[in-house]
Structure 1
Amino acid sequence: MDPILEVSDLHIRYRKVEAVHGASLRVGAGQIVTVIGPNGAGKSTLLNAVMGALPAYGSASGRVSYLGQDMAGIPVEGRVARGMCLVPEKRELFASMSVEDNLVLGAFRRKRAGDKRFLDQMDVVYDLFPRLRERARQEAGTLSGGERQMLALGRALMAKPQLLMLDEPSLGLAPLIVREIFHIIDRLRETGVATLLIEQNARAALQVADYGYVIETGEVVMAGPAAALAGDPKVIETYLGLARRAA
């Protein structure tokens, strides 16, 4: 099966500093693929380059192919229109607007494109996140951290993306809420959307992912099925916080 996303030999520079060195990865249809690694390794930089959202002083070379099309020269808006969606680390909700209005805004691109069924994902989102249904009239700024992350995910799904990219969805959340968020990410398979997950919480990420990549100082140093990575002694020692297994 052809991949939804294929990144080949991607180099990313911020002025004179190269932050990512020759990274390559693939995301298949309906897959959850995770990129794990320490803080500052280049995970979010990689995601922003895929989305075409590098800052003005950043540049990228290599190939980003989405649904078989080279994304070179296509701006963020064009990538969104093709079905790519990024949930950034800061979530970027409209705090003074209601939960439901935030969700409706997620479907704005579909409405503008003339899709008369642009709100058809509302019930799907509310089924995934029952708490959002309960708080539909509540201002987004009054939600808890976990609820804000649910809303950010739900708003992204309203666009009916083919590729959903999540940047550190567990950041700043209590352990109980982290488990709930990752349970929901696991359920995203039911929607058919492919998911690229950037995450420092390697244990949780590898539990839900089908395939994983390990990035260190801007280089992909390991890759394989998530279950295999979770059992690898180096990953266990470095990222899962466990003692080295006996030889």
Structure 2
Amino acid sequence: MEAILEVQDLHVRYGKVEAVHGVSLSVAPGQIVSVIGPNGAGKSTTLNAIMGTMDGTASSSGIVRFLCEDIGPMPVEERVRRGMCLVPETRELFSSMSVLDNLRLGAWPRRRAGDRNCMDQLETVYRLFPRLEERAQQDAGTLSGGERQMLALGRALMAKPKLLMLDEPSLGLAPLIVREIFHVVSRLRSTGVAILLIEQNARAALQVSDHGYVLETGNVALHGPAQELAGNRRVIDTYLGLGRQAAA
């Protein structure tokens, strides 16, 4: 199956310091691909380079193709228009606006493009996250951490993306909420959206993924089917926290 996203030999520099060293990865339509690794491995930097959201101190080289087209020269707005959507780890919600208004903003690129059905994903979002419907008129700033993550995901889905990129969706959340978030991520596979998942919680990420990449110090150290990585001794010892118990 032809990749919806293909990254080849991606390098990212901050001044003279190279943070990402020749990363290559791909995501097929309807596939969930995870990138796991420790803090400082270059996971979020890779994601921001793909989305074109790096700050002014960074520069990148390599090829990023989306829907078989080189999007390297394209601004963020054009990447969004073509069907890419990023949920950053900071979530970037409008705290003083209601839950519903935040969701409406997610549909804004479609509305600006003249899509009269730009709100047609609202029912799907409410079905995935019933609490958002219950709190539709509540200010986003009053939500719990888990509810804010749900709103960030829901807002992204309002844009009806072809590729959804998630940066550390479990960050700072209680274990019960983490399970709920990853359950929804797994369910999104049935909608046909492709997902690139950046995550430190290797166990949860590999459980919902089709394919995985292990990023260490800016390099792809391992990659393969998620189930194979979950059974890899190096991944078990380093990232799954099982150690000698798993070996026994």
The aligned counterpart of 1:95 is 95
User: After superposition, where does 1:39-188 map in structure 2 within 5 Å?
Assistant: 39-188=39-188
Please give the TM-score of this superposition, normalised by the length of structure 1: 0.99
CA deviation map 1:48-79 (0-9, x unaligned)? 00001111111111100000000121011110
Query: What is the CA-CA distance between 1:191 and the residue it aligns to?
Result: 1.5
> Are 1:231 and 2:226 counterparts?
no
Aligned equivalents of 1:79 and 1:22: distance in 2?
Answer: 22
The aligned counterpart of 1:26 is 26
Seen in structure 2, the aligned counterparts of structure 1 residues 184 and 246 have a Cα distance that, compared at 3 Å, is closer
CA deviation map 1:79-137 (0-9, x unaligned)? 00100000000000000111001000000010010000000000000000011011111
Cα RMSD, aligned residues only:
0.9
Indicate the SS of the match to 1:34: strand
CA deviation map 1:118-165 (0-9, x unaligned)? 000000000000110111111100000000000000000000000000
| Structure 1 unaligned spans of 5+ | none
Aligned equivalents of 2:124 and 2:62: distance in 1?
Answer: 36
Counterpart of 1:125, as a letter, is: V
Counterpart of 2:173, as a letter, is: L
Q: Which runs of 4+ in 1 moved over 2 A?
A: 244-247
Aligned equivalents of 1:25 and 1:40: distance in 2?
Answer: 19
Counterpart of 1:138, as a letter, is: Q
Query: What is the CA-CA distance between 1:190 and the residue it aligns to?
Result: 1.9
The aligned counterpart of 1:7 is 7
Counterpart of 1:58, as a letter, is: A
Aligned equivalents of 2:247 and 2:115: distance in 1?
Answer: 58
> Are 1:192 and 2:188 counterparts?
no
Aligned equivalents of 1:177 and 1:141: distance in 2?
Answer: 18
Corresponding residue pairs, total:
247
Counterpart of 2:22, as a letter, is: G
> Are 1:207 and 2:207 counterparts?
yes
CA deviation map 1:206-246 (0-9, x unaligned)? 00000000000000000000000000000000000011454
> Are 1:38 and 2:56 counterparts?
no
Indicate the SS of the match to 2:220: strand
Aligned equivalents of 2:74 and 2:135: distance in 1?
Answer: 37
Counterpart of 1:92, as a letter, is: E
Query: What is the CA-CA distance between 1:9 and the residue it aligns to?
Result: 0.5
| Structure 2 unaligned spans of 5+ | none
Counterpart of 1:109, as a letter, is: P
Aligned equivalents of 2:56 and 2:140: distance in 1?
Answer: 30
Counterpart of 1:230, as a letter, is: A
Identity %: 72
Aligned equivalents of 2:53 and 2:168: distance in 1?
Answer: 16
CA deviation map 1:172-192 (0-9, x unaligned)? 000111011000110111211
Indicate the SS of the match to 2:243: coil
